[in-house]
Amino acid sequence: MWACYKRRGNNGMMENNKSICVALNTKSYNIIIGHTFGLENFLRDKNISSFFIVSDCNVFRNYGRALINSLSKYGLTITKSIIMPGEKSKSFSVLEKLCRDAAAAELDRKSLVVALGGGVVGDIAGLMAAIYLRGIRLLQVPTSLLAMVDSSVGGKTAINIPEGKNLVGAFHQPLGVVINIETLKTLPHREYLSGLAEIIKYGVIKDSLFFDFVAKNRSNLLRRDTSALEKVILRACKIKAEVVSSDEKESGLRQILNFGHTFGHAVESIGKYQKWLHGEAVSIGMAFAAELSAITGKGNKESAEMIRNVLTSYKLPVSLNKRKYKKMWKSFRTKINTDKKTIGGKPRFVLFTEIGTVKFGCEVSEDAMKEAFERILK
Ligand SMILES: NC(=O)c1ccc[n+]([C@@H]2O[C@H](COP(=O)([O-])OP(=O)(O)OC[C@H]3O[C@@H](n4cnc5c(N)ncnc54)[C@H](O)[C@@H]3O)[C@@H](O)[C@H]2O)c1
Ligand SMILES: [Zn+2]
């Protein structure tokens, strides 16, 4: 049964919260999934001296007060630094601002950075926590669907430079991840769909029953039904936790999480990180990878079709405009090479063999890549 989780009664969290352990050699932590910020007792024995909230102004406007109320029960100093929403904030200048705000707030080695927001906030607050005073603790409080099921778990933090996205970063595992599902009520629809793309990815890479569940529960998920959402967030986090536990620094299995991302990152880059949201680009990337699986004979045509159909049923893009992009293969091909998994100019793809099973590190021919590109032009 894929909906496997344990209830926690005795950890001081509310009884109806669910918890998943990300088991790591040195610093295991929990992902708590519930309906409040419910932080009171979770942090009780952590010897924290002060809180430093990092958020963006959209999210802070909606949830800053509730988070502060939850933290204020500790009687510790709470300071904050609020950044502008959007990918542009993942920059050295914003990172510097966060560090200087942290210094002004007199953070010490026992302070806790609380990242309240989507993946942008989580990534930059995480990097700041990784480097400030050579590393202080971090609590992830993700508020976008993508951040809940992906970026808040696993310890990857980063900012962008003009030469590329996420090129400057560090691994810095959080003290915990606290997911308040209720925050999804205010998430813009397009952002919500973008998060669903990553959820569909988890089904393809690890769990065909989960893939079927997501396919069959389209109307519940599209109207953000709480019970369906809780199930998929739980399962997606469980898969991510398992994969991260077995390969913390992405030297092997963790690469499967990049299904659809090799081409997806190229799409994001060609769109200058403005035309497509991350999940949308990954959706196109998954359609590309599905074609590549079929072309190379690793996966069958029917499964490739199923992946495309499910993505389309969630109104996610699976193609590129033929007229606009047909002459641009070379640009896409160049961008593919900037993928971190490219070695000696040869990109490595994650390809499915059947839904629920993928292989990573697959080298494919130039012709196969070009054909997959041509197949997704519509
Ligand atoms: N570290 C990782 O492992 C990892 C994995 C995947 C993606 N990422 C990164 O995550 C980023 C994308 O994250 P994202 O999709 O969450 O984007 P985001 O952080 O830009 O958030 C999307 C938008 O939604 C708003 N928002 C977030 N939560 C809201 C809520 N509950 N109510 C109303 N508005 C809300 C934000 O203000 C923002 O405008 C990218 O920079 C990507 O590189 C990192
Ligand atoms: Zn992703």
3-state SS assignment for residue 188: coil
145 alpha carbon – ligand 2 mean position (Å): 11
Are residues 239 and 197 located together in one domain of the fold? yes
pLDDT digits (tens, 9 = 90+) for 317-342: 999 999 999 999 999 999 998 776 77
> In one letter, which amino acid is 271?
G
Instruction: Give how far Cα 334 sits from Cα of 269, 270, 291, 343, 378, Å.
Output: 11, 10, 19, 13, 21
- Give the Cα separation of 369 and 364 in Å (integer): 7
Q: 307 pLDDT exceeds 70?
A: yes
- Give the Cα separation of 256 and 188 in Å (integer): 28
Are residues 281 and 331 located together in one domain of the fold? yes
Alpha carbon 206 to its chain's center? 16
- Give the Cα separation of 325 and 264 in Å (integer): 15
The number of C-alpha atoms within 13 Å of 293 and in the hemisphere containing its C-beta is 32
Q: Cβ contacts of residue 342 below 8 Å, gap of 6+? A: 336, 348
- Nearest ligand for residue 282 CA: 2
- Give the Cα separation of 378 and 319 in Å (integer): 6
Q: 269 pLDDT exceeds 80?
A: yes
Q: What's the chain's average pLDDT?
A: 92
Mean pLDDT, residues 268-282? 94
Nearest to 239 by CA among 220, 214, 217: 214
The pLDDT assigned to 15 comes to 47
Output the ligand 1 site: residues, CB below 6 A.
Answer: 56, 58-59, 62, 85-87, 90, 117-121, 123, 143-144, 146-147, 150-151, 154, 156, 166, 183, 186-188, 191, 194, 278
pLDDT digits (tens, 9 = 90+) for 45-97: 899 999 999 999 999 999 999 999 999 999 999 999 999 999 999 999 999 99
The pLDDT assigned to 344 comes to 75
Q: Which of 91, 150, 191 to mutate for ligand 1's pocket (most ligand atoms within 8 Å of CB)?
A: 191
Kind plus residue range of the DSSP H or E element containing 29? strand 29-34
Mean pLDDT, residues 149-166? 92
Q: Name the residue at shortest CA distance from atom 20 of ligand 1.
A: 86
At residue 8 the predicted structure's pLDDT band, cuts being 50, 70 and 90, is very low
69 alpha carbon – ligand 2 mean position (Å): 32
Contact 127, 91 (CB under 8 A): no
Contact 89, 124 (CB under 8 A): yes
Are residues 29 and 145 located together in one domain of the fold? yes
Decide if 142 is inside a domain. Answer: yes
Both tokens of 143, joined, read 């508020």
- Give the Cα separation of 98 and 340 in Å (integer): 27
Nearest to 319 by CA among 295, 288, 353: 288
Which residue is catalytic, options 278, 308, 335, 348? Answer: 278
The pLDDT assigned to 3 comes to 38
Number of domains into which the chain is organized: 2
The residue range of the domain holding 137 is: 6-186
Q: 12 pLDDT exceeds 80?
A: no
Are residues 308 and 181 located together in one domain of the fold? no
The pLDDT assigned to 25 comes to 85
Q: Specify the ligand 1 atom closest to the Cα of 86.
A: 20
pLDDT digits (tens, 9 = 90+) for 180-230: 999 999 999 999 999 999 999 999 999 999 999 999 999 999 999 999 999
At residue 41 the predicted structure's pLDDT band, cuts being 50, 70 and 90, is confident
The pLDDT assigned to 165 comes to 85
Say whether 134 is catalytic: yes
3-state SS assignment for residue 332: helix
Which residue is catalytic, options 172, 201, 206, 265? Answer: 265
Separation of first and last alpha carbons in the chain = 38
3-state helix, strand, coil split of the chain in percent (to 5) is 50, 20, 30
Decide if 275 is inside a domain. Answer: yes
Which residue, 186, 206, 226, sits at the end of a domain? 186
Q: Name the residue at shortest CA distance from atom 11 of ligand 1.
A: 119
Kind plus residue range of the DSSP H or E element containing 179? strand 176-180
Q: 13 pLDDT exceeds 70?
A: no
Both tokens of 341, joined, read 């998994």
- Give the Cα separation of 189 and 205 in Å (integer): 25
Decide if 370 is inside a domain. Answer: yes
Are residues 200 and 313 located together in one domain of the fold? yes
The pLDDT assigned to 343 comes to 72
Which residue, 155, 186, 217, sits at the end of a domain? 186
Say whether 156 is catalytic: yes
> In one letter, which amino acid is 272?
K
Q: 305 pLDDT exceeds 50?
A: yes
Are residues 181 and 275 located together in one domain of the fold? no
- Give the Cα separation of 212 and 348 in Å (integer): 27
The number of C-alpha atoms within 13 Å of 186 and in the hemisphere containing its C-beta is 12
The pLDDT assigned to 1 comes to 34
Are residues 62 and 159 located together in one domain of the fold? yes
Q: Cβ contacts of residue 81 below 8 Å, gap of 6+? A: 52, 53, 54, 97, 98, 101, 102
- Give the Cα separation of 128 and 133 in Å (integer): 9
Mean pLDDT, residues 18-28? 89
Q: Which of 123, 182, 237 to mutate for ligand 1's pocket (most ligand atoms within 8 Å of CB)?
A: 123
Q: What is the CATH number of the domain that holds 368?
A: 1.20.1090.10
